[in-house]
Structures are given as C-alpha cells and as structure tokens.
Chains A and B, each alone.
Chain A
Amino acid sequence: MADFKEFLETNSMINSQNLDVRTITMGISLLDCIDNDIEKLCNNIYTKITTKALNLVEVGKQIEREYGIPIVNKRISVTPIALIGAAACKGPEDFVKIAKALDDSAKATGVNFIGGYSALCSKGMTKADNDLINSIPEALAVTERVCSSINVASTKHGINMDAVALLGRKIKEAAVKTAHGDSYGCSKLVVFCNAPDDNPFMAGAFCGVTEADCVINVGVSGPGVVKKALEEAKGQSFEGLCETIKKAAFKITRVGQLVAKEAAERLNASFGIVDLSLAPTPAVGDSVAEILEEIGVSTAGAPGTTFALAILNDQVKKGGVMASSFVGGLSGAFIPVSEDHGMIEAVEKGALTLEKLEAMTCVCSVGLDMIAIPGDTEDTTISGIIADEMAIGMVNQKTTAVRIIPVIGKKVGDMANFGGLLGYAPVMPVNKFSCAALIERGGRVPAPIHSFKN
C-alpha cells in the first residue's frame, strides 16, 4: 500500500530540511603499492587510486539521481602514508612527492578531498612518522585536496607528548605557509586521540590497516531534520524529546544504509560502515547549534549546553544503531565552529568560548573543530590545547581531535575565511598563560589504568 504521507515526509526532509548524504568515502588500501623507489611508489599510488575510484563520482551522481537524495561529497581515504612511504622516503621532501601524487589522483578522479596523509604514533614515532609530520606544512601548502591527520594518543597506549610538541610547531608552520589564505592549511590537519580506522569525514579520514582492500564508508547528515522534529515536540519532557531525536536519527541513517549498500555494490567494493554523524554546514537550518537551542538553551554556550549536547549525541547513536548493519567512524554530533552558522553567531555574541567548547568535546563525537585563534598564539600553547583534548579522549575512551587554525596576521574578533566547504570563523581568544614548561618535558604519558582490560 502506498503511503503518500511518507513520500511527502521524506521529500520535505530532503527539500526543506537539508537532509543529505554528506559523503561517500572510498577507503583504498595502498599496502600493495609499497616500493623502495619513490618514483615507482608514486606511480603505483596514482594507478591504484585512479583505477579503484574511476567511477566513484559518477556512481555517486547516479545514486543521487535515482533516489533524489543529494550526495554532497565524494571522497577518498588511503592507508596512512607514513606506513606506505617508509621504505622509499629519505626525508620530508620525499613525502611531499607522495602528497602531490595523492593530489593528482584526487583531481583525476574528481573527488574534492583525499585523506590519509597520516601517521599513527600514539606510543612512539618511527623516522617515517617524524619525516611525514615535518613535511605536513609544505605538503598542505603545495596541494589542494590532500588532508592530513595524526593519531598521537589512545586509551590503549597513552599520549605521545613528543608528537604533541612537534605538532604545535608544525601547525604554526602550516599557518605561516598558507598565511595568504587565512592559514587554510591548518583546516586540512587533524590531531587525534583514538582515531577510527573507518571515518568517512574529512579532514580526519584515513583507511586503517584493519580495512579491506577497497571499502565504502558513508557519512549521513541532517541536523535540519532533527531540529524540525524537535520543533514539533515543543514543550515535551525529556522522555518525549529523546524519543523524537531517536526516531529522526533512525530515518536519516536508513537513507545512509541504502546509499552505502548501493554504492558498495556498484563500485565492486566492500560495504564498510555508516557514520551516524550530524554534520552541520554554514547554511541556515543545517546547524547543530540550532538543535541545542531547540532543546532549550538560548544560544550555544549557555549553561546547559554540554548537557543538551550529551543527550543529542546519545539519542542519535541509539536511533541510528538499529538502522544500519554496520555503524562506525565518528558517529555523533559534530561541533565545528566555522561550519555551523549557529556556532559562529554564539562566538560573536560572546556566549561560546574555547573552554566551553572543550567541555562540550567530552560528550560529543569529535573535538575542538575548525576553531580560529590569533596567529601569534605560542606553539607550546597550541600543544597545550592538543594535550588537554588528548587527555579527555584517553581517559574517557573516546575519539577526540583538534583542528585549530592560528590565523596569521589576525587577532581576536577578526573574521577568518577558509573558503567553500570549510566556512568562516571569528578568531577566538586563547588563555594567555603559558604551559611551555609542561610541553618541554617531552616523552610519553603511560596508558591509563583502565587500558588494562586483558
């Protein structure tokens, strides 16, 4: 029996509430590309990516046409390049050659981002990890679509404070190298704790070594759908509120599951996971901050915001888990500042501070995301912000991350514009007191007591 009400509901989610599939990300293992000759390695990488992802964009567009659901981004993630380049790269400059090969492959296949310029060094750094991290500022400046992520901490292994200190310096260098464009280089670099192997979202996506040779991961979105559902549940108690969010999340995720299965089949790849994230965009009606306001805080950042976010995150997971056969990635609510107009406004009003955002990362699925800070922020202060966030992830056994942009030449209150998908953000104040002595200690933090589960 046809239910026309259901057709109307789905189409109104798509047409007026910004429901979309945020990304189809093809994970490609590059382990079989390894060679000790850098030129051969780059050729192998280019050939494998352009072969596997040849039809990725076209298949994405076809699914979009057939089901009438926008698929905003088609992307690629690859095996962490520190592993792939270890045998061939003599120094950071060789890693930059691989970054260029990745960029060329992204352009040839038509994807807008390629992730996996990454190193996993939560316990220690190999020479290759060290060289790759040192190459990041140059690699992000000379490429357009390459995204980089470094896992420097985990609940199982502790925190690599040498890597945290090094990344504080590299983030600043990346900012300087792209100073002409509001230091946009840093918007393509994420520092992780407990990074997932199957994250489809940029800039933190990479294809973990636990993955199959070619895998499709899909990130759904739909903050607008949740907000609309909550508008209709006005005045209800938390029981009603939670039920409403769960139902909306279920419906959103079912679409993700359909798209992921179709895409995997048509691209001859394994179906990886659906990432149940509420990923905002700068568009009105596509904002996580608006959902928090609908729950009952007058603006994001007001007392009660962490509480509201915790509820939202938990209900999204509960609703989504049953809707997909495989759930993974980051799965939860994203709270990027530059990509969410409600967050931007909250910062401009003085309601939302860096410290409140840090508290919010304790209960959301990502971390300090797309935050612009003054360009003259000390390297060690950036490392200190990273260390705080890594500690939150390590102790709470969750993924956390830092994507922070010291905007060279800009001060608190100025606006930084990163262009296109990356949005714009007001430069936020950073605590002026130093943590240099803490960062200079170096070494690594032992794994927390609750890592010993054997």
Chain B
Amino acid sequence: MKKAIITVVGKDKVGIIAGICTFLAKEHVNILDITQTIVDGYFNMMMVVDLAGMVGNFNELQSELGKLGEGLGVMASVQLEEIFERMHRL
C-alpha cells in the first residue's frame, strides 16, 4: 500500500466530489477514507488514498489532478502520507 493524502479546497458547487472521484477511479487510485465540510460556502475535502495500483506515475497524477481542480474551480493537491506520519507519530 502506498498511502497519499488528497486535499481539495475552493468555492462550493455541484460536482466537485463526483469529478475528483471519477478521475481517481479512472487512474485506479483507491479511496480509503474521506472527510468533507463546507464552511462559509467554502468546500473542504481530504481523502486518504492508496496509490499502489495507479495507472501512471506520481508526477502525472499530481499534474492531472491539479488541472482537473482548475477546471472545477478548486485547488486540488496530492502528497505522500509519510510526511504527516513522520511529523506526528513516534
């Protein structure tokens, strides 16, 4: 398993989750956990995903996800989970 965190932030509208999830399914990225809130009209979503079976490489996924986010009017980024684990866990 190669865990990563996807963060999506931006103005709320119809189809953000659908857009991101469809893209991830196409890339064979498995979603392990999701949290999503809306504060003052701003959409905020974090996902824990597994990149082990992904179709392309990390750089391609990152760049495609960024472009998809732009299209949806949100900021979407992906980071490997290890940075969070190292910072907060002994």
Contacts and interface: CB of A to CB of B under 8 A. Distances in A.
Given A2-B32, A4-B46, A68 B79 contact: yes
A162 B48 CA distance: 62
B29 to A, nearest CB: 15
Given A67-B82, A258-B82, A258-B83, A7 B58 contact: no
A65 interface: yes
A190 B7 CA distance: 43
B33 A251 contact: no
B74 to A, nearest CB: 15
A6 B32 contact: no
Contacts of B84: 3, 6-7, 10
Interface in B53-90: 58-59, 62, 77, 79-80, 82-84, 86-88
A254 B87 contact: yes
A126 interface: no
B88 A255 contact: no
B5 interface: yes
Residue from A6, A9, A62 whose CB has the most chain B CB atoms within 10 Å: A6
Chain A interface residue number, banded: 20 to 34
A251 B84 CA distance: 10
Contacts of B83: 10, 67-69, 255, 258
B88 A6 contact: yes
Contacts of A9: 88
Contact of B86 (A11, A66, A257): A257
A2 B46 CA distance: 10
Interface in A1-46: 2-4, 6-11
Nearest to A256: B86
Contacts, number: 47
B57 to A, nearest CB: 11
Contacts of A255: 83, 86-87
A4 to B, nearest CB: 5
B59 A65 contact: yes
A138 B64 CA distance: 49
Contact of A66 (B33, B46, B80, B87): B80
Interface residues of B, number: 19
Given A2-B32, A65-B62, A251-B87, A7 B5 contact: yes
Given A2-B33, A68-B83, A251 B58 contact: no
B88 A3 contact: yes
Contacts of A2: 32-33, 48
Contacts of A258: 82-83, 86
Contacts of B35: 4
Nearest to B90: A322
A4 B32 CA distance: 13
Nearest to A259: B83
Interface in A43-92: 62, 65-69
Given A7-B5, A7-B46, A11-B7, A66 B88 contact: no
B90 to A, nearest CB: 9
Interface string A245-279: 00000010011011000000000000000000000
A65 B7 CA distance: 14
Interface in A227-261: 251, 254-255, 257-258
Residue from B59, B77, B80, B86 whose CB has the most chain A CB atoms within 10 Å: B86
Nearest to A252: B87
Contact of B79 (A4, A6, A62, A67): A67
A10 B79 CA distance: 11
Interface in A410-431: none
Given A2-B33, A4-B35, A66-B58, A10 B88 contact: yes
Contacts of B88: 3, 6, 9-10, 251
A26 B62 CA distance: 27
Nearest to A257: B86
A10 B80 CA distance: 12
B77 to A, nearest CB: 6
Contacts of B82: 67, 258
B78 to A, nearest CB: 8
B59 A6 contact: no
Contact of A254 (B5, B32, B58, B86): B86
16 contacts: A2-B32, A7-B5, A7-B7, A7-B46, A10-B87, A11-B7, A65-B62, A66-B80, A67-B80, A67-B82, A67-B83, A68-B83, A254-B86, A254-B87, A255-B87, A258-B86
The 9 A-B residue pairs whose C-beta atoms are closest, nearest first, are: A68-B79, A67-B83, A2-B48, A6-B88, A258-B86, A2-B33, A254-B86, A4-B35, A254-B87
Given A3-B88, A8-B46, 8 more contacts: A3-B84, A6-B84, A10-B83, A10-B88, A62-B59, A65-B62, A66-B58, A66-B79
Interface of A: 2-4, 6-11, 62, 65-69, 251, 254-255, 257-258
